Copies of this chain bind each other. A is one copy, B any other.
Amino acid sequence: MGAQERTQKEKLILESAIKLFMEKGFHATKMDDVAKGAKISKGLTYFYYKNKEDLYMAVTRKAFEGLKDVFREVFRSKGKNGMQMLVDLVQKYLDYSLQNRMYYDAILNFLGVLSLYNDENTRQKIDPLILESVHFQKLLDIHHDCGKFGIQMVSQGIKDGSIRPELQPEITFYTIWSMLIGYERLSGPVNYENKEIKIHIDNWKPGFIKLMQDMLKGTIQATKPNIVQGSLF
């Protein structure tokens, strides 16, 4: 069996895992089911993936690679100034995170682990199986690349004058990324008491993007006031 066939099998297992994780989530998915889905024996999954955590890291890697594609695609697109790139990024990022919930859960989980990893005092709290995974190492790079793309977009915006010059690219980009991460967690319909008003992704997103733009622009042009209108409290 050549390396091609090997990766072939690896892919089969990965695809089975992705399908099941999407349907039932990580914990409800049994290694038995993954094997069945890939039409192999359970033991063989352990030949290609060290353990369930390693398999999850492989899934996470695929998820984060997809997100990195979003960053790259936006960054490579021609004829946009920095601000336009960032608005575009926000749109596409949110689309990706909301349309691939399981993937995004995986990314978020990785970011939590990363946060522990970057601090020597907390590193030992990470499940050793995660650190042993080859995919974890790759994820560090992918995360780094995304940050680099984003920071460059802000820098670009400062250079071309679409973003106010006193901003620091790193801090600014990380703040935007923070917003994006939280958005997905909070989105979805939220009911407020017996009132029928819901804060829903569909009517929240434009306001969210506008706020981000306001944050980056030098001057804010006031639109018509909108005070109590539509407000619950």
Interface segment, A33-41, A57-65, A66-74, A172-180? Answer: A172-180
Interface of A is mostly: helix
Q: Which residues 201-224 of A sit at the B interface, judged by CB distance below 8 A?
A: 204, 207-208, 211-212, 214-215, 217-220, 222-224
Contacts of A227 in B (CB 8 A): 158-159, 165
State whether the Cβ of A166 lies closer than 8 Å to any Cβ in chain B: yes
Interchain CB contact under 8 A, B175 and A178:
no
Q: Which residue of B lies closest to A150 (CB)?
A: B233
Contacts of A182 in B (CB 8 A): 177-182
Interchain CB contact under 8 A, A112 and B118:
no
Contacts of A134 in B (CB 8 A): none
Interchain CB contact under 8 A, A184 and B219:
no
A183 → chain B closest CB, angstroms: 5
A96 → chain B closest CB, angstroms: 15
**Given the interface contacts A24-B125, A127-B28, A169-B231, does A179 sit within 8 Å of B189 by beta carbon?**
no
Copies in the complex: 2
State whether the Cβ of A105 lies closer than 8 Å to any Cβ in chain B: yes
Q: Identify A232's interface contact among B151, B186, B215, B222, CB under 8 A.
A: B151
State whether the Cβ of A168 lies closer than 8 Å to any Cβ in chain B: yes
| Bound complex: CA A40 to CA B105 (Å) | 36
Contacts of A207 in B (CB 8 A): 168, 171-172, 175
Interchain CB contact under 8 A, B218 and A222:
yes
State whether the Cβ of A192 lies closer than 8 Å to any Cβ in chain B: yes
**Given the interface contacts A25-B125, A181-B186, A185-B115, does A208 sit within 8 Å of B144 by beta carbon?**
no
Contacts of A179 in B (CB 8 A): 175, 178-179, 182
Interchain Cβ contacts under 8 Å between A and B, 27 examples: A24-B125, A25-B125, A108-B108, A111-B186, A115-B187, A148-B233, A155-B231, A155-B233, A165-B222, A166-B222, A166-B223, A166-B226, A167-B226, A168-B230, A169-B231, A170-B199, A170-B230, A171-B199, A174-B186, A178-B182, A178-B186, A179-B179, A181-B185, A211-B215, A214-B215, A218-B220, A218-B222
Shortest Cβ-Cβ A-B pairs, 4 listed: A178-B182, A181-B182, A171-B207, A118-B188
